[in-house]
Structure 1
Amino acid sequence: MNRREASKAILGSALALAGGQGLSQPVPPAVRIAAPSRLSEVWADVGFQFAGQPALLVRVPPPSQPNPRVFMLAQQMYFTAYSRVCTYLGCTVPLPDREQNIECGCHGSRFRADGSLEKGPADRPLRAIRLELREGAVWAVGWLDN
């Protein structure tokens, strides 16, 4: 292999890595949020910090169809969690209102109580958090792909 071929091989490998074929984002450390009993009613919520961002854990009703953002973690109790950082301008969104909607005060994007997008200008839902039940508590263990 001559110098030119070696350079091409190195450049090709570097481009493949930069394109995401081998690079992975670091997984944030797991965070203990709360015992399921602390969210005894549907729509109860608990704020927490995950990966340096404000986040929210919400007990939701059973979904009518499969929803990758919703986890059944304890005796027919369903939960969702997401970052409260808006995907449009990075503002911190408020807690869900009485109708279980979230409206960003910066630009008016609306999200549902599970963090999914209802209307823009944002074009993506709030970043979902993977949940697990560990040692009798709900834990945030990583990001979900939206």
Structure 2
Amino acid sequence: MNRRDATRALMGGLLMLGGARGQQSPAAVRIGELRQLPEVWADLEFRFANQPCLLVRVPPPKEASPRIFKAGEQVYLTAYSRLCTHQGCTVQLPDRQQNIECGCHGSRFRADGSLLAGPASQPLRAIRLELREGVVWAVGWLDS
């Protein structure tokens, strides 16, 4: 590769990175009706921004968390991408102890997507939720 080709490749990569930062939020996705989550730890799988995701009804939090959405009287929800933040493998569904494990490299997460143990250094990517007339919607990423 000569200097001109290397410069083109570098500039193309930088332009792609700049464009990614300016991207709009993904389109809102209808996940399901609140009544489909009748008890704590009930969950619904869905896709958001072309990623496998999970919506989970969780117990009332001990302290406020941006990851937890209050959907009604004593109804708390969380949603996140199932792509491991270590190397992008799809993590398993929560087990009986409400823990999630990545089968690729062993990262472990709580059922709300928060990190328990690495090699991942970040929690699962959280999704912003809205409740519209009894229906739960994924409307964006919490970190954007």
Deviations 1:12-47 (A, max 9, x none): xxxxxx998xx5332000011111111000000000
8 Å Cα contact 1:74/1:133 also seen in 2:
no
Deviations 1:52-106 (A, max 9, x none): 0000000000000111100001232000000000011110001000000001000
Name structure 2 gaps, 5 residues minimum: 1-15
Equivalent position of 1:74 in the other structure: 72
TM-score, with length taken from structure 1: 0.83
Equivalent position of 1:145 in the other structure: 143
Percent identity of paired positions between Structure 1 and Structure 2: 69
Separation (CA, whole Å) in 2 of partners of 1:101 and 1:61: 14
CA 1:19–1:103 in 2, change beyond 3 Å: closer, same or farther? closer
Separation (CA, whole Å) in 2 of partners of 1:24 and 1:58: 30
Separation (CA, whole Å) in 1 of partners of 2:127 and 2:62: 20
Equivalent position of 2:9 in the other structure: none
Q: Residues 12-27 of structure 1 correspond to what in structure 2 (within 5 A)? A: 23-27=21-25
Separation (CA, whole Å) in 2 of partners of 1:102 and 1:25: 30
Equivalent position of 1:124 in the other structure: 122
Name structure 1 gaps, 5 residues minimum: 1-17
Q: Given the alignment of the two structures, is residue 135 of structure 1 paired with residue 94 of structure 2, yes or no?
A: no
8 Å Cα contact 1:36/1:74 also seen in 2:
no
8 Å Cα contact 1:94/1:102 also seen in 2:
yes
Separation (CA, whole Å) in 2 of partners of 1:34 and 1:56: 11
Q: Which amino acid aligns with 1:72?
A: K
Give RMSD over aligned pairs.
Answer: 1.9
8 Å Cα contact 1:91/1:106 also seen in 2:
yes
Equivalent position of 2:6 in the other structure: none
**Residue aligned with 2:120, SS:** coil
Tell me the number of residue pairs that the alignment of Structure 1 and Structure 2 aligns.
128
- Point out the structure with max Rg over C-alpha: 1
Q: Residues 47-58 of structure 1 correspond to what in structure 2 (within 5 A)? A: 47-58=45-56
